[in-house]
A and B are shown apart, each in its own frame.
Chain A
Amino acid sequence: MEALIVFDSTTDAIQAEQELLNAEFLVKVMPKPTSLQAGCGFCLRVAIGKTLDALEVLQHADILYSGVYLRNNKNKDNPYTKLNTREEIEAATKEHSILASCTSGGCGAKIGPGELRDILGKLPRDRGNDNLLIGFDASDDAAVYRIDEVHSLISTVDFFSPMVEDPRTFGRIAAANALSDVWAMGGTPLLALNLVCFPEAMDTFILGEILAGGAEKIMESGAVLGGGHSIYEKEPKYGLAVTGTVETKKLLRNNTPELGHKLILTKPLGVGIVLAAARGGVASSIAMEKAISQMEHLNRYAAEKLASYHVSACTDITGFGLLVHMLEMADEHVTLTLHSDALPLIAEAIDYADEYLLTAAGQRNRNFVHNRVDVSSLPFAIQELLFDPQTSGGLLIAAPSEEAESLLMDIHKEDPLAAIIGEVGPKKNQSIIFS
C-alpha cells in the first residue's frame, strides 16, 4: 500500500523526487488525483511503511509538502484518506504494511539448526515402517514415502513472514521457496495447499495479493492449487504444503555425493544480507531488484536439467546458509573443497557484510558450525556470505567431473549466474576445506 505526498508547487515536487531518489527511496510520480483539492499537479508515491522516513528526508532538505494521503486501490469511490498526524501515518502503516508488522522475515526466521536437531532427536520414531524412505532424522529437504514398486511421494511444507513490502512479490517468493524442496529431491510437484496466517485488522486486499502471487508460481511450477487453511494471527505468514512424486530410483538425496564429483550452486548467495540492509533502510534498489528476482525464480528449470546427468546428491540452500548445507552433504563420508573465489555472490552483499548489516540467523548458523569448519582463512565478508540465510536459495548439486561443465551450460540457460564452486574428495579431518 502506498502513501501520496502532495506539494504546493511543481518545483517542490521535482526537488522532492530528486532528494528521495538520491536517498535511495523507491519513489514514483503520479499526477495529482482530481478528487484532491489541495496541491500542485504532481504528487509522489512511496510505500506506506517508508512514509515517515521520506518525510524526514524532505524536512531535512527544507522541502515543503502540503499533505499526506493513504492510497487504497480497493476503495474505488474514495481511494484517498488524508493522514494528518504522525500517529495517523503510524496507524496506517500498521494496517497496510505487511513488513512493518513483522519482526523477522523469510528463511532467516528458521529455528536454528542446532536447536532443531536437539528437539527432533527426542521424538519417537516408527522404525517398523519401511515405506518412509526419508524422514525427519535425515535432515533432508522433504519427506519421501514409497507408494508402490516404482514411485514415491514427496511431501514438504514451508511458510514464513514477509521479507519484502509488496504482497504479491512476497506470495511469489514464499511459493517458489516451498515448491523448491520437491525439485531438490529430484521430483515433480503435483499439488499445493495454501497455509495462511493473517492479522484480523489488516486489509484483506493484501491477502488477495499474497495468494495471487503464490498462485502464479504454482501455475508456473506445473502443480495445481488444491485448497488451504487460514487463521487470524498477529503477524502475516504464508507458504505452501506441497505434494510431489518421484521415480524412487531417481530420488536425489542430500548426503550421497560421490568422490570426484563437482559441486554446482545455481543462485548467488547474499539475499539474507541484502534483506537485512533493506530492513535498516540502506539497501540499494538495484541490490533489492537482484535479490527479489532470484528469490522469485523457480528451481524447476535447473532441476529439470539434472535428469540427463548422473547427479549423486542435491539439496536447496535455505535459511541455514551454504556452509550448513555443505556439512549435511559431506555427512561423515567425504570432505568437500570449496573454491571461495568461484562463489556466485550478490556484489552489494559483500559491501553490506563489511558494514556489519548482518542477520541473527547468519550468526546462529555461525554458532552451529562453530569449530567444525575453520573459516578463519577467508575474508570476513565471504565468511558471512557462507553463513548468510538464503530465502528461496538455489540448488547445490554434485555431478560427475566429466559432466559438470555440460550440465552447467544447460543450467545457465535459465540460471545464468550458476557456477561450479568445489568438489568432493576423500574424508579428511575437516568436512569442508577451502582453496
Chain B
Amino acid sequence: MKTIDMLGEPCPIPVISAKKALAEAGTDGVKVLVDNIVAVQNLEKMANGTGRAFSYVEESSNRYAVSILASDTVISEAVLGVASDATNEIDSDSAGNFVDTDHEEISVVNGAHSDGAVVLITANHLGEGAEELGKMLIKGFIFSLTEQSPLPQSVLFLNGGAHLTTQGANTVPDLQTLEEMGVEILTCGTCANYYNLSDSLAVGAITDMMGIVNRLTKASKVITI
C-alpha cells in the first residue's frame, strides 16, 4: 500500500491526494499521514461516501496514520472530474453584482484622462486573417491599453466585442484594471442581448447607441478596432 505524507497540509489537500492515489490503476489502497483529527474525519467522510474501508491509528498526538482500502466496486471514480465539469455553465444569478458603485468612487480618485482617446472595439479579434491569431492580438491590445499614458477615456465594445467584457473572457481582469484606473468600460446592450450575454456582464456597464455615438462625437480622438 502506497504511503503519502500529508503532515502539515491543510484540508482539502490530504483528501485530494488520497483520491488521486486511490484512482491509480491496480492500487490496493492508500496510507495517509496527517497531523490532526479533523483531517482524519474529512478522510473518513470521503472513504465512507465512496464505499471504501477506513481505519486509522493515532501514532502520537500530532501524527495519525489513516488507511483507506481500494474498493472493486468503485473502479473508475472520476477524481476531480465533477469539479471541472461544472465550470462551463454560466450562472446568470450572480450577474448584476459586478457593477460595483465603489468603482465610481475610485475613478474620481485616479482621474480618467478626459483628453484621452475613445477606443471602439467592434470584434473579439483584431485584424483580418487567422481567427485564432486575431483573438490573441486583441487580448494583447487590451493589456497594452493598461500601460498607456495618457490612458484612454473610454473603451466601447460593440457587436462581437461584447464577448470580451462578459463572464468567461480572460480579458476581464485587464479591463477591470483599466476601470480601476478610471477608464470607462461600456458594452453595447443590444449586442450583449443578441449574443445572449446580457446576464453575464463581468466588467463595466451597459450602454445604448446614443451613449456610444455621444462619446464618439465628443472625443478628441477615436481609435476603432
List chain A positions with a Cβ less than 8 A from chain B: 10, 13-14, 17, 21, 24, 26-31, 41-42, 103-104, 216-217, 219-220, 276-277, 279-280, 282-287, 289-290, 293-294, 296-297, 347-348, 351-352, 354-360, 363-364, 366-367, 380, 416-417
Contact = CB atoms under 8 A, between A and B. Distances in A.
B42 A283 contact: no
Given A277-B83, A363-B11, A364-B38, A293 B143 contact: no
Interface stretch (B25-33, B95-103, B117-125, B212-220): B95-103
Contacts of A293: 94, 97-98
B167 A358 contact: no
Interface of B: 8, 10-13, 15-16, 19, 36, 38-39, 41-42, 45-46, 49, 80, 82-87, 89-91, 93-94, 96-98, 100-102, 105-106, 132-133, 136, 139-141, 143-144, 167-168, 170-171, 173-174, 202
Contacts of B42: 356, 358, 360, 363
Contacts of A28: 139, 143, 170-171, 173-174
Interface majority SS on A: helix, strand, loop or mixed? helix
Contacts of B45: 356, 358, 363, 380
Given A286-B91, A289-B202, A360-B11, A31 B143 contact: yes
A293 B91 CA distance: 13
Nearest to B41: A363
B47 to A, nearest CB: 9
B84 A17 contact: no
Contacts, number: 147
8 contacts: A13-B136, A27-B170, A29-B143, A30-B140, A286-B89, A290-B94, A358-B45, A416-B93
A356 B46 contact: yes
A357 B84 CA distance: 13
Contacts of A364: 38
The 10 nearest A-B residue pairs measured at CB: A284-B87, A29-B139, A356-B46, A31-B140, A30-B143, A282-B83, A360-B11, A280-B16, A360-B38, A351-B86
A280 B13 contact: yes
Given A293-B98, A367-B41, A360 B10 contact: yes
A277 B139 CA distance: 28
A176 B15 CA distance: 31
B15 A358 contact: yes
Contacts of A27: 170
A277 B86 CA distance: 12
Contact of B15 (A103, A286, A347, A356): A356
A289 B169 CA distance: 12
Given A31-B140, A347-B86, A356 B102 contact: no
Nearest to A293: B97
Nearest to B142: A29
Given A10-B133, A28-B174, A41-B140, 10 more contacts: A14-B132, A24-B84, A24-B87, A277-B12, A280-B13, A287-B87, A356-B49, A358-B11, A360-B11, A416-B93
